[in-house]
Amino acid sequence: MLVFSLPSGKASERVQVWRGLQKFGAIPFRNAGYALPNTSENRERFAWAASSVRSHGGEASVLEIQSIDDLPGDALQRHFREAREPDYTELLEEVDTLESGAVTVAQLTRLKRRLEEIVSIDFFENSLRGKVRNALERLEAPKGNSVKGNLKADRKNYQNKTWMTRYRPGVDRVSSAWLIRRFIDPKAKFVFGDAPAQSPKAIPFDMFGDAGFGHVDDRCTFETLCHAFKLTDKRVAFIAEAIHDADLEDGKFGRGEGVTINRILKGWEKQNIPDDELLRRGIDLTEGLYQSLH
């Protein structure tokens, strides 16, 4: 927690400090000061803010709080999530005003950058985060994307291939990689990139835009692959529902298994696990879920 005071004549300096705290994602704690989760990055942020206050002739202290007797940890986390609600809502409204297929590269770049800024201070993952991501993906997909939903693929044309997906693979991408290697291309190799052009011979999956296999209508990439390759395994169908609920966050099937996998992946991501290791671990998790089903 940062507590500080500035001389009454330092109004502009007070606004400057306040804007910095807003940018950091700090939330006001009653009338006592501003709070952030206790991480090295946030301690550095508050140290900077305290230094700024002192340079303007004020007083500032940074406190590490062990516990708050009348505010449990989950309630405090809820306050942080609620603080990001207006940010995501504003961004989602802006995305909704743009026409799919007609949006410019500059507009998309700006919207993605804004999403990254919000995510960086969304410490406990507001539920709107996934909705904004999905809305951006739909916005980037050209009109007529639903045609891809009728895609039928022959497995014999997808053997010993290199498959490309985005960096920092999440639940839809790791489970899709498992599905590819388990049921489609047993010798599949995986690479990461921002755009299919970086590896023209690779087969894209869960990339932005209309390349390869990705989101179609209300289907996640895992479901699209199941549909395209006519996979009818009942355990795979169960996993598809779980991944859908975790990735699209719409509660369509009421499955919690994918959400658990997603949380584990996010925990590993915070430990700076490399992309290829994240993918390998995610594949193992999905295989474990598959083997647990009967």
- Encode pLDDT of 66-86 as tens digits: 989 999 989 999 999 999 999
Binned at pLDDT 50, 70 and 90, residue 200 comes out as confident
Among 110-114, 118-122, 188-192, 246-250, top mean pLDDT goes to: 188-192
Position 234 confidence tier, pLDDT thresholds 50, 70, 90: very high
pLDDT for 98? 83
CB atoms within 10 A of CB 83: 19
Which residues 6+ apart lie within 8 Å of 144 measured at CB?
101
Q: Is the pLDDT of residue 215 over 90?
A: no
Strand order in the sheet with 189-192: 189-192, 162-165, 203-204
Per domain, the residue ranges of the chain are 2-62, 73-140, 147-292
The answer on pLDDT for 284 being more than 90 is yes
Residues of the chain by 3-state class (helix, strand, coil), percent to 5: 55, 10, 35
How many percent of the chain have pLDDT more than 90?
65
DSSP conformational letter for 155: G
A 10 A CB-CB count for 185 gives 20
How far apart (Å, rounded) are the C-alpha atoms in residues 106 and 231?
Answer: 39
The mean-pLDDT minimum among 28-42, 49-63, 104-118, 119-133 falls in: 104-118
From the list 168, 179, 182, 197, the residue with the least C-alpha distance to 279 is 168
Evaluate whether 168 touches 278 at the Cβ level (below 8 Å). yes
Q: How many CA atoms lie within 13 A of 185 on its CB side?
A: 21
Distances (CA, A) of 248 to 11, 99, 169, 188, 263: 45, 21, 15, 26, 14
pLDDT classification of 121: cutoffs 50, 70, 90: very high
pTM more than 0.85:
no
pLDDT value at residue 153: 87
Residue-wise pLDDT for 134-187, tens only, equals 888 777 654 433 334 456 788 999 999 999 999 999 999 999 999 999 999 999
Tell me what pLDDT residue 240 has: 96
Query: What is the C-alpha to C-alpha distance for residues 52 and 211, in angstroms, rounded to an integer?
Result: 48
Mean pLDDT of 251-260: 90
User: C-alpha distances in angstroms, 79 versus 10, 28, 34, 76?
Assistant: 29, 10, 12, 5
Angle, vertex CA 8, rays to CA 6 and CA 14, nearest 5: 50
Give CA separation, 45 vs 25, 26, 38, 164, 255, in Å: 10, 10, 11, 36, 38
pLDDT greater at residue 207 or residue 64: 64
